[in-house]
Amino acid sequence: MGQRRTSLCEAATQGRLRAPGDPDGIPLLTERERQTLFLVGTGAGNRLIARRLGISERTVRAHLSNAVRKIGVRSRAEAAVFAFAYLDLVDIPAAAEPR
């Protein structure tokens, strides 16, 4: 009978679970790709991201597609988890954010 199964929460707090993707890809991101990825990590949709950055939704999709490829994730959901997990690495200092 024996062993108790470890919950996902316990595994995460013990450092055995990792976010999807490769944090080594973060330096390859352009400033706009980083901004887009950061906003995806906050749960923002393409329309809101486009308004916030002053770009078109098509451009948002292009930036996100490039970021997804560079960080090695397979979906927007994985990109959001990645951005949330590595927020301190993805975030751009306030002085560099667009007005």
Does the residue 14 lie in any domain?
Answer: no
In a domain, 80, yes or no: yes
Q: What are the pLDDT digits (tens) for 22-61?
A: 999 999 999 999 999 999 999 999 999 999 999 999 999 9
Give this prediction's pTM: 0.74
Domain assignment present for residue 59? The answer is yes
- 3-state helix, strand and coil shares in percent for the chain, rounded to the nearest 5: 65, 0, 35
- Tell me the CATH number at 27: 1.10.10.10
In a domain, 43, yes or no: yes
* Structural domain of 76: 22-92
Q: Is 5 helix (H, G, I), strand (E, B) or coil?
A: coil
pLDDT at 96 (0 to 100): 46
How many structural domains is the chain composed of? 1
Q: Within a domain: residue 7?
A: no
The DSSP secondary-structure symbol of 7 reads: P
* Model confidence band, residue 87 (pLDDT cutoffs 50, 70, 90): confident
Do the domain assignments include residue 38?
yes
Q: Is residue 83 part of a domain?
A: yes
- Average pLDDT of 70-98? 82
Structural domain contains residue 35: yes
